[in-house]
């Protein structure tokens, strides 16, 4: 028996990059996956394995079970719909991975536009609040599997949330918000058998970071 046999997971932003890797890893461990994203295939220039396949197709190739749910994570109806899809198709929700995220331009707060700030906060922070809200509501409604917790919420934050990375004011603020929210929810829902945790990746080679990591001058700022 695999570690996650019988469990159901939603991963937002799972078409490419970190989210795709998480979704495939969870599927290999036995979980059924809802792939939440606004696109089905990895964007051009990604580093993803088999970019010709959707994440759900890639999971099917390794013998797993997955479905795609179109999901604009800034919209409450999209995230509540992803949770509903998990319950409708697979019967429950055990793992919620709030992974979707962006950064816009590398610039100081002086140059950064209010529009870029609002977009970054909507995708990186508001989406996590929404994803937690609907996932936790479902987890509180259902009985835990025998001998297991009621559920797990995993928020993908960033090292940027605890250290001041250069030229990323909105991104750093958004990831700091994710960490603060995670700590608060752990206090509220831990007593109910639901774990809420955050992971803080450093620089990862994805389509989102390609332009920064492949420019020598910019990459040097992050060393």
- What positions carry a catalytic annotation? 171
- Asked if residue 37 lies in contact with residue 15, where contact means CB atoms within 8 angstroms, the answer is yes
> Measured at the alpha carbon of residue 64, what is the angle toward residues 26 and 133, in degrees to the nearest 5?
45
CA gap 210, 223 in Å, rounded: 15
- Asked if residue 67 lies in contact with residue 89, where contact means CB atoms within 8 angstroms, the answer is yes
Which uninterrupted H or E stretch holds 197?
A: strand 194-199
Q: Is residue 34 exposed (0-12), middle (13-18) or buried (19+ Cβ within 10 Å)?
A: buried
Other beta carbons within 10 Å of 104: 16
Question: Which is nearest to 212 in space by CA: 168, 157, 180?
Answer: 168
> Measured at the alpha carbon of residue 63, what is the angle toward residues 25 and 27, in degrees to the nearest 5?
20
Q: Across the beta sheet with 66-70, what order do the strands follow?
A: 66-70, 32-37, 8-12, 95-98, 151-156, 194-199
């Amino acid at each position: 028996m695999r570690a996650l046999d019988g469990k159901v997971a939603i991963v937002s932003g799972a078409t490419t990059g970190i989210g795709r890797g998480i979704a495939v890893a969870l599927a290999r461990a036995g979980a059924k996956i809802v792939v939440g994203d606004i696109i089905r295939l990895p964007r051009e220039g990604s580093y993803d394995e088999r970019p010709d396949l959707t994440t759900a197709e890639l999971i099917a190739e390794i013998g797993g079970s997955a479905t795609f749910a179109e999901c604009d994570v800034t919209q409450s109806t999209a995230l509540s719909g992803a949770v509903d899809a998990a319950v409708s198709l697979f019967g429950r929700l055990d793992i919620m991975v709030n992974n979707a995220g962006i950064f816009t331009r590398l610039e100081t707060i002086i140059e950064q536009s209010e529009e870029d700030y609002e977009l970054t906060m909507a995708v990186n922070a508001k989406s996590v609040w929404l994803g937690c809200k609907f996932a936790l509501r479902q987890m509180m409604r259902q009985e835990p599997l025998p001998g297991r917790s009621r559920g797990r919420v995993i928020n993908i934050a960033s090292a940027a949330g605890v250290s001041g990375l250069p030229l990323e004011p909105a991104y750093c603020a958004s990831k700091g918000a994710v960490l603060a929210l995670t700590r608060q929810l752990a206090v509220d829902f831990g007593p109910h058998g639901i774990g809420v945790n955050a992971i803080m990746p450093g620089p990862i080679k994805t389509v989102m970071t390609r332009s920064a990591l492949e420019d020598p001058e910019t990459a040097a700022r992050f060393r």
